[in-house]
Amino acid sequence: MSGHSKWSTIKRQKGAADAKRANVFTKLANAITVAARHGADPTMNFQLRLAMDRARAANMPKENIERAVARAASVADANAVSELVYEIYGPSGVAVLVEAATDNKNRAAADIKAVLNKFGGKLAGEGAVKFLFERYGVLSISVGAKTQEDAELAIMDSGASDYEKADDGYLVYTKPEELELVKKNLEAQNFGIDDAKLAWEPKQTVALDEEASAKVIKVLEALDSLDDVVSVASNLG
């Protein structure tokens, strides 16, 4: 990867606060339903297993998780949740990708437009922004008592594509199809897996001054707070 987005690190730092938000269960339930369309058995469906793991980490009740999985078994209910990607130009022309899972497309679009009107930014045409990003598996890991040298050697041996230091751990990047294998390899080396997901990462990042960066981050946080939004990515460096 040629650059890491500042937003990835900020997202990791604010993860504990996110778990307290009232809308987090809605986001997690929609993600589970979308993943369960490809199979309701988490032992056979890695995407579903990841979604369920994230729900448990946020202390989502077991019955909520089971209800979200069951929702995908009904064609009518499963089709009621749509997966959408919004391509956006944020303040200073920063590229933004927003993934949404929603049972009301009009509401999702209206909420996103309201954020952009308030904080700055505009929707872009299809393909205008997405080519600036690449799909990766991303793991947030803690290292325990390992030294930095031992930790980084183990990460490289795990099959990861790249990594970066973040807080008291690391963000580890993998090819999407290798996320499950790398996760297993890291677990075998006694790393703590704080989070694992598929995410969009920028191919290159853009550097802005502190004032301009703050404006972009305000937009990203407002978008991320919306009920229908599953993930937000940007090329803010």
What residue ranges do the domains of the chain occupy?
Answer: 14-80, 82-131+204-234, 132-202
User: Is 3.90.650.10 the CATH classification of the domain at 132-202?
Assistant: no
For the stretch 74-121, pLDDT in tens is: 755 556 788 999 999 999 999 999 999 988 999 999 999 999 999 999
Looking at every residue in the chain, the average pLDDT score rounds to 90
Which ranges constitute the DSSP H helices of the chain? 6-13, 15-18, 24-36, 46-57, 62-73, 75-80, 105-119, 148-157, 179-188, 210-224
Domain 82-131+204-234 fold: Alpha-Beta Plaits (3.30.70)
Tell whether the model's pLDDT for residue 65 goes beyond 90.
yes
Task: Give the alpha-carbon dihedral of 57, 63, 68, 71, to 10 degrees.
Answer: 170
The residue with greater pLDDT, 154 or 13, is 154
3-state DSSP: the chain helix, strand, coil percent, rounded to 5?
A: 50, 25, 25
* The pLDDT value given to residue 23: 79
* The pLDDT value given to residue 66: 95
Round to whole Å and give the CA distance between 163 and 86: 27
Across residues 129-141, what is the average pLDDT? 95
* The pLDDT value given to residue 1: 57
Across residues 211-222, what is the average pLDDT? 96
Topology agreement, domain 14-80 and domain 132-202: no
Round to whole Å and give the CA distance between 101 and 108: 9
Extract the tokens encoding 43.
């032992």
| Top CATH class, 14-80 | mainly alpha
Tell whether the model's pLDDT for residue 24 goes beyond 90.
no
Largest CA distance in the chain: 52
The residue with greater pLDDT, 4 or 223, is 223
